[in-house]
Every structure is written in C-alpha cells, then in structure tokens.
C-alpha cells in the first residue's frame, strides 16, 4: 500500500475491507498533502481485487491495472484520458486505466465539471465486468461546480448497484451540504513531523510550520522561499523588491505565500493582522494585484 502513516484511517479501512460493507459514497477529508488521493487508490485496489485481499493482492488482473495507473498518476502522467462522446460532441472526462470497473475523475482545469459527472452517470447502471463491484473516485471533489454537485446529488439519490463513490476534499464543509450528507466521512490527520521530514527529505522545523505539515505545499514554498523571507524581513527595500516579484507567481504560489504569512503572523501572536490578511486573500480571488494588496498590508 502507498499510504504513509494514518494508522487510525488504515484500521477503519481494513474493517471496511473485511466486512465488505462499503458505503455508497465515502468522503476522504484532510489537509493538503496528507495522502487523500493515495488513500482512495489504496482502498479502490482492495475493493476491486479479484483475490479479495484487503489492500489488493498485486497479482490479479485488477490489481495490476490499478497499480500501473497509480504509479503513472502519481508521477503526473495523465495522457490516457478517456474521451466520452455524445452525438458529435466529445469531451474529456476521466481516467479509466483500462479497468472496466474503475473511473478516476480529476478536476479539468480549475474545476470538476458537469460534463464529467454526466459521463460518470452513464457508468453507474452498468454491471461490473471484471471485479465484484465498481469504484468511481472523484478527486478534489471540493472543486465541483454547483451544477456538477447537483448532478452528482441526483446520481447519489438513485439506487446504485455495486457502485461506490470515493470523494476526496480538504473538509466536509467544502462540499455542497446535501452532497456531504450522503457521504460517510473518513478524516486523515495532518502529517506528524517525522513523516513530513521523511517525505520531504528535509529536517526543517520552520518549513513544517509554514507549510502546515503539507509536503506538496512545502515543495512549492521552497521554490519561493526567497520572496517570502524578503516580505517578512521588515526591511523596506527588501520588501519592495519582493513585491516586484509576487505578481509573476502562479495562483497556487500566491496562495502558498499567503498561507505562510498567516502561519508567520499567528506564530508572532498577531491575530488582528491575520484577519487583515484574509482581506488580502479575498482581494486575490477578486483579481486584485497581489503586490498592491500586500503593499498596503506590509508597508
């Protein structure tokens, strides 16, 4: 299995795998980078294994297909997107890795769209062709559009035979409440320091705090560390220099900088400044230039 740490979650999942009482929809929630997607893939492997092994047997046709998929996906190779066609309209929808009973739906661009959920709907009524059941993973389900969420809700309300949804999201609250209420929730905890150090290969206490224990955030943060350090240097010339650079960052990098500033302010006991920082954040979402918003905030 690929999931690191998370002993409590593993125990719950093992019980599910042994009793085969899988919920129709399971939400795996937890902070970024703690292994939600990996956990979903591990669970799916066990659910679809032809030898009925808790975490998959690694030998049956189903396990081989899913292991191959997980390796490719985690390396960022997603070229085998399946294309779904509706009349003459063709849309990219999901990754299926050649397994007839498995669909993996990641966000397309910055959201998970209704076309993708529509494609999934056609998969739900079919009988499993290889495994004892079918699994649909909706990765980063918090990025579902409102339309997509409502379409999913309808699907979840209809009876599903041998079909199980696994959703991943930072928190239950990030989903439409009606969708969340239909999901059994499994919470993954933030990574403990030693696991974080092992995964990032860096024994850096400060990095652990500033990235909220998320290895993927830590990787981004490390790339833009100089900018962050200049912004928090309290030296007007350095701050000004860093402000010249922030608008050129990607949206994700900007968010990571803001998260780190927030952790920094909290560690300095400046709760009020943290509130003002949340205004900078909402400005960023409205398209306000980060350099301008931060200049007001820092100078």
Q: Which residues within the stretch 186-205 sit at the binding site for Zn ion (CB under 5 A)?
A: none
165 bridge partner residues: 25, 136
Q: With beta carbons less than 8 A apart as the criterion, state whether 27 and 167 touch.
A: yes
Distance between CA atoms of 197 and 208, rounded to whole angstroms? 8
Query: Residue 59 CB, nearest distance to Zn ion (Å)?
Result: 6
Contact region for Zn ion (CB under 5 A) — 44-52, 90-98, 102-110, 233-241?
44-52
Closest separation between CB of residue 66 and Zn ion, Å?
A: 8
Provide the minimum distance between the beta carbon of 61 and Zn ion in the complex, in angstroms, as a whole number.
8
Binding residue (CB under 5 A) for Zn ion from 2, 57, 202, 273: 57
Establish if 70 lies at the interface with Zn ion (CB under 5 A).
Answer: no
Binder among 60, 93, 199, 231 for Zn ion (CB under 5 A): 60
- Determine if 49 is a binding residue for Zn ion (CB under 5 A): yes
Output the six-digit token pair for 126. 């079919």
Q: How many residues bind Zn ion (CB under 5 A)?
A: 6
Strands 163-169 and 134-138: parallel
Lookup: tokens for 185: 């929730």
Selected binder of Zn ion within 43, 63, 112, 220 (CB under 5 A) = 63
Which residue, 61 or 263, is less far from Zn ion as judged by CB? 61
Q: Which range binds Zn ion by CB under 5 A, 53-61, 83-91, 95-103, 206-214? A: 53-61
Q: Which residue has the tokens 């100089």?
A: 226
> How many CA atoms lie less than 13 Å away from 150 in the CB half-sphere?
3
User: Which residues, 6+ apart, have CB-to-CB distance to 257 below 8 Å?
Assistant: 224, 227, 228, 231, 246, 249
Site membership for Zn ion, residue 138 (CB under 5 A)? no
Q: Residue 48 and residue 53: Cα distance in Å, rounded?
A: 9
Q: How far is the CB of 102 from Zn ion (least distance, A)?
A: 13
What is the C-alpha separation between 94 and 265, in angstroms, rounded? 41
Choose, by CB under 5 A, the member of 15, 51, 68, 181 that binds Zn ion. Answer: 51
Kindly list the residues in this chain that would bind Zn ion in the complex (CB under 5 A). 49, 51, 56-57, 60, 63
């Amino acid at each position: 299995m690929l999931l690191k740490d998370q002993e409590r979650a593993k125990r719950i999942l093992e019980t599910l795998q042994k009793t085969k009482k899988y919920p129709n929809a399971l939400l795996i929630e937890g902070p970024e980078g703690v292994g939600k997607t990996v956990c979903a893939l591990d669970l799916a492997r066990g659910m679809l294994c032809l030898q009925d092994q808790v975490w998959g047997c690694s030998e049956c046709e189903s396990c081989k297909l899913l292991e191959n998929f997980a390796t490719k996906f985690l390396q960022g190779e997603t070229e085998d997107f399946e294309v779904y066609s509706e009349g003459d309209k063709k849309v990219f929808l999901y990754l299926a890795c050649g397994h007839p009973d498995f669909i993996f739906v990641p966000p397309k661009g910055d959201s998970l769209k209704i076309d993708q959920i529509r494609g999934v709907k056609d998969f739900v009524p079919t009988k499993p062709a290889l495994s004892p059941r079918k699994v649909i993973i909706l990765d980063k389900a918090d990025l579902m559009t409102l339309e997509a969420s409502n379409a999913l809700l309808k699907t979840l309300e209809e009876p599903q035979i041998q079909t199980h949804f696994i959703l991943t999201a930072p928190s239950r609250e990030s989903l439409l409440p009606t969708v969340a209420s239909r999901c059994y929730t499994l919470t993954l905890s933030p990574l403990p320091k030693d696991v974080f150090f092992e995964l990032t290969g860096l024994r850096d206490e400060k990095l652990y705090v500033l990235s909220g224990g998320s290895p993927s955030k830590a990787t981004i943060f490390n790339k833009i560390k100089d900018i962050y350090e200049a912004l928090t240097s309290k030296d007007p010339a350095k701050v000004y220099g860093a402000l010249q650079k922030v608008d050129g960052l990607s949206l994700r990098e900007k968010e990571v900088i803001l998260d780190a500033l927030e952790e920094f302010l909290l560690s300095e006991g400046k709760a009020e400044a943290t509130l003002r920082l949340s205004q900078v954040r909402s400005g960023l979402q409205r398209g306000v230039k980060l350099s301008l918003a931060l200049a007001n905030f820092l100078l």
